[in-house]
């Protein structure tokens, strides 16, 4: 009886079974949203930020290191604060801050930790330790911020700050996340990838209450953080600090280079700022103040500021003129026919022209270089001649980046044919008479202090330089990019340098350099420059190297609105050179005079006129 019903019943069972298997196939094999949901549920990715690399000077003195700080986190679900007033007193926060932050943390997640208070110092951390038992749900995580041994190197070092929204979206490899710290300028920016190290990732399993339950897949996916590499700079911290002290009450730059290696010994940008203020909780307040300062303390002037080189450029003219075969040590030009004036002396040869910085001499020399080609009218000849000249001058690093290992290096301007074609809106619209200003380093040519220090190094080396750089070694191996080891020839034969160096020596001993710029026991050779600018008093420029034989230091000093090059820049340069070569300065009177010299009133009168950016440009 009814035996066939067994089959019907089983058919029903089978249908249910098939339905289940179908649904399970859909859930488990076809639809992958559950897999992702599961990972979101149970796996927490924890980023571990490694210590950023430290920075040392050339003698191994620490310049920048990391100070551990403590960030306070809260887990809202576990956080029970019985006495809010007590809490606020212990952590020195306002009640409003407490309420606001707690609410934000709750809105983010009740079970995941939220940052409550950033950057507690070791001392603060120690002082709240005893009270922590009263505040369950609060815990500390270590973090670090940059600490600066010296305030004198801030501009070249750069600083570290939270990544900007723009940089966050522009990044190529998606490394940074919101709130990550990144090097903003200087070597912090240039060596960002070296300094930052390798971020670690930990995958932790968490249960439904957000409590960690061990490593996911036994930690096989975890990546340990790797500390950033240290940077060993070529900076001589003693010289750096000394040069910095000389630049107080002044606006400008000092760049000192070791000519044989291209290593930058000191790089001062004035006015500067206190880098340690740009760490931690003060950042936004202090940064605002700096960014709005008309003196532009955040600008790293040596590689980034624009000036006309003035008379210091005559050295390039002397070298290029000889190399092109238009002048020689015996070439003499009279003052006649030159629209530029001289300072009252008779006709001079090349050596003498450099000594007294004779404007007409270099006007005539430049005219010869430009016009000495046979075809075409004066317009065509100017175009041809200028291009030949500019191609050679470009070898000195003008109008292009030298490749210094700092963020924000500016190219400067080396006017060539193409440049004037665009300025005068077409070919054959200009000739020598339109451009002669550049013969004496005025007009359209624009340089940075770094380029001029490099020029001093080129002359010291008699025809070559190694690209200037701040970092001479990276990491344990102290490795360095071969770019910073390879000499670059400028295409001017060594023999042409003799007369130039002779002229520079004369300029210091009995030329344009005033007595304060002479070091009795060191044979320093140099050239003054006085850079015209429309906004105020001339900028005072001096480039030099010393000693004359076997040079150890090449230097460029720019002091804005300080007037004649021989009276301000040259004495300051001589003090730095003396300090570097003798490790002490005997000319105390000169030292005191220039440390206290204040050129700021001249600068204020410029900034008060609210003239546009830096200098130059017609």
- Could you give the CA distance from residue 183 to residue 189 in angstroms, rounded to a whole number? 4
Shortest distance (Å) from residue 207 CB to another protein: 3
Q: What is the DSSP string of 261-317?
A: TTEEEEEEEES---GGGGSGGGHHHHHHHHHH-TT-TTS-HHHH--B--GGGGHHHH
Measuring CA to CA, how many Å separate 500 from each of 142, 362, 433, 554? 59, 13, 26, 15
Query: Given CA atoms 76, 79, 84, 90 in this order, what sign does their dihedral have?
Result: negative
Shortest distance (Å) from residue 102 CB to another protein: 21
431, 417 contact by CB (below 8 A): no
Q: Which is nearer to another protein, 3 or 374 (CB)?
A: 3
* Angle between the N-to-C axes of helices 497-510 and 449-461, in degrees from 0 to 180, rounded to the nearest 10: 110
Q: Which is nearer to another protein, 33 or 596 (CB)?
A: 33
Kindly list the strands in the beta sheet with 553-559, ordered across the sheet, starting from the edge strand earlier in the chain: 263-270, 252-258, 553-559, 539-546, 525-531
Q: Which is nearer to another protein, 39 or 586 (CB)?
A: 39
Tokens (6 digits) for 194: 């070296």
Residue of 230, 258, 194 lying closest to 468 (CA atoms) = 258
- Could you give the CA distance from residue 45 to residue 50 in angstroms, rounded to a whole number? 16
Shortest distance (Å) from residue 225 CB to another protein: 22
Measuring CA to CA, how many Å separate 135 from each of 82, 111, 113? 8, 16, 14
| Residue 36: how many other CB atoms lie within 10 Å | 9
599, 571 contact by CB (below 8 A): no
Is the previous residue joined to 100 through a cis bond, with omega within 30 degrees of 0?
no
Which stretch of DSSP H or E encloses residue 421?
helix 417-423
Shortest distance (Å) from residue 112 CB to another protein: 15
Burial label for 472, CB within 10 Å (0-12, 13-18, 19+), is buried
Q: Which is nearer to another protein, 31 or 493 (CB)?
A: 31
Shortest distance (Å) from residue 22 CB to another protein: 10
Q: Which is nearer to another protein, 219 or 487 (CB)?
A: 219
- Could you give the CA distance from residue 452 to residue 465 in angstroms, rounded to a whole number? 12
Q: Which is nearer to another protein, 33 or 178 (CB)?
A: 33
Query: Given CA atoms 39, 40, 44, 48 in this order, what sign does their dihedral have?
Result: positive
- Could you give the CA distance from residue 322 to residue 99 in angstroms, rounded to a whole number? 76
Q: Which is nearer to another protein, 27 or 167 (CB)?
A: 27
Residue of 490, 498, 492, 494 lying closest to 350 (CA atoms) = 498
Shortest distance (Å) from residue 62 CB to another protein: 41
Shortest distance (Å) from residue 106 CB to another protein: 15
Residue 142, helix vs strand vs coil: strand
Half-sphere exposure of residue 418: CA atoms within 13 angstroms, side-chain side: 5
Q: Which is nearer to another protein, 110 or 401 (CB)?
A: 110
Shortest distance (Å) from residue 208 CB to another protein: 4
501, 527 contact by CB (below 8 A): no
Tokens (6 digits) for 344: 């009252």
Shortest distance (Å) from residue 161 CB to another protein: 38
Shortest distance (Å) from residue 47 CB to another protein: 20
* Angle between the N-to-C axes of helices 378-394 and 314-323, in degrees from 0 to 180, rounded to the nearest 10: 100
Q: Which is nearer to another protein, 36 or 618 (CB)?
A: 36
Shortest distance (Å) from residue 76 CB to another protein: 16
Q: Which is nearer to another protein, 20 or 59 (CB)?
A: 20
148 forms beta bridges with 64
Q: Which is nearer to another protein, 220 or 374 (CB)?
A: 220
Shortest distance (Å) from residue 42 CB to another protein: 4
Q: Which is nearer to another protein, 15 or 291 (CB)?
A: 15
Q: Which is nearer to another protein, 32 or 549 (CB)?
A: 32
Q: Which is nearer to another protein, 7 or 498 (CB)?
A: 7
Q: Which residues bind another protein (CB under 8 A)?
A: 1-3, 5-6, 9-10, 13-14, 16-17, 19-21, 23-25, 27-29, 31, 33-35, 37-39, 41-43, 205-209, 213-214, 216
Shortest distance (Å) from residue 209 CB to another protein: 7
Beta strands (DSSP E) in 190-318 are: 200-206, 212-215, 231-233, 252-258, 263-270
459, 314 contact by CB (below 8 A): no
Residue 287, helix vs strand vs coil: helix
| Residue 107: how many other CB atoms lie within 10 Å | 10
Shortest distance (Å) from residue 15 CB to another protein: 11
Shortest distance (Å) from residue 36 CB to another protein: 8
Q: Which is nearer to another protein, 45 or 485 (CB)?
A: 45
């Amino acid at each position: 009886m009814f035996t066939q019903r067994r089959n019907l019943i089983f058919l029903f069972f089978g249908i249910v079974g098939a339905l289940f298997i179908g649904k399970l196939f859909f859930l488990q094999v076809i639809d992958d949203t559950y897999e992702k949901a599961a990972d979101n549920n149970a796996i927490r990715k924890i980023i571990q930020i490694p210590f950023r690399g430290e920075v040392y000077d050339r003698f191994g003195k620490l310049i920048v290191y990391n100070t551990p700080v403590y960030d306070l986190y809260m887990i809202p679900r576990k956080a029970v604060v019985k006495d809010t007033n007590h809490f606020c007193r212990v952590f020195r926060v306002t009640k409003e801050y407490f309420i606001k932050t707690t609410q934000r943390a709750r809105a983010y997640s009740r079970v995941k930790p939220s940052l409550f208070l950033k950057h507690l110092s070791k001392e603060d951390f120690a002082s709240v330790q005893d009270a922590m038992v009263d505040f369950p749900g609060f815990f500390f995580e270590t973090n670090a911020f940059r600490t600066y041994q010296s305030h004198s190197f801030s501009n070249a070092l750069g600083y570290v700050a939270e990544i900007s929204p723009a940089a966050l979206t522009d990044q190529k490899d998606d490394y940074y996340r919101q709130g990550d710290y990144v090097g903003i300028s200087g070597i912090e920016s240039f060596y960002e990838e070296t300094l930052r190290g390798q971020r670690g990732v930990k995958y932790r399993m968490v249960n439904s209450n957000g409590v960690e339950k061990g490593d996911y897949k036994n930690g096989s996916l975890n990546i340990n953080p790797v500390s950033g590499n240290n940077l060993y700079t070529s900076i001589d911290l003693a010289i750096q600090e000394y040069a910095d002290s000389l630049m107080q009450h002044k606006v400008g730059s000092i760049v000192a280079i070791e000519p044989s290696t291209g290593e930058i010994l000191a790089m001062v940008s004035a006015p500067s700022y206190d880098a340690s203020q740009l760490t931690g909780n003060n950042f936004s307040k202090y940064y605002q103040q700096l960014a709005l300062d008309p003196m532009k303390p955040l600008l790293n002037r040596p590689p980034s500021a624009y000036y006309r080189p003035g008379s210091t450029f005559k050295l390039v003219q002397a070298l290029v003129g000889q190399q092109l075969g238009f002048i020689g040590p015996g070439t003499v030009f009279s003052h006649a026919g030159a629209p530029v004036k001289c300072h009252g002396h008779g006709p001079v040869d090349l050596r003498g022209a450099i000594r007294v910085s004779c404007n007409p001499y270099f006007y005539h020399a430049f005219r010869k270089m430009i016009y000495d080609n046979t075809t075409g009218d004066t317009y065509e000849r100017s175009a041809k001649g200028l291009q030949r000249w500019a191609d050679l001058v470009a070898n000195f690093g003008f109008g292009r980046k030298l490749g210094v290992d700092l963020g924000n290096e500016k190219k400067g301007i080396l006017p060539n044919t193409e440049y004037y074609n665009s300025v005068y809106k077409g070919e054959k619209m200009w000739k020598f008479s339109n451009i002669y200003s550049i013969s004496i380093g005025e007009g359209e040519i624009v340089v940075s202090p770094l380029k001029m220090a490099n020029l001093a190094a080129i002359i010291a080396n008699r025809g070559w330089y190694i690209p200037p750089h701040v970092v001479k070694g990276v990491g344990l191996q102290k490795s360095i990019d071969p770019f910073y080891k390879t000499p670059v020839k400028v295409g001017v034969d060594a023999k042409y340098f003799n007369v130039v160096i002779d002229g520079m020596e004369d300029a210091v001993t009995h030329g344009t350099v005033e007595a304060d710029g002479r070091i009795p026991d060191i044979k320093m050779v140099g050239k003054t420059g006085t850079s015209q600018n429309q906004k105020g008093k001339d900028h005072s420029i001096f480039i030099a190297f010393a000693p004359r034989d076997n040079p150890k230091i090449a230097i460029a000093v720019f002091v804005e609105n300080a007037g004649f090059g021989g009276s301000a820049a040259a004495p300051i340069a001589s003090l730095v050179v003396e300090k570097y070569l003798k490790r002490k300065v005997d000319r105390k009177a000169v030292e005191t005079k220039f440390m206290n010299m204040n050129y700021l009133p001249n600068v204020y009168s410029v900034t008060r006129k609210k003239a546009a950016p830096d200098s130059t440009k017609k």
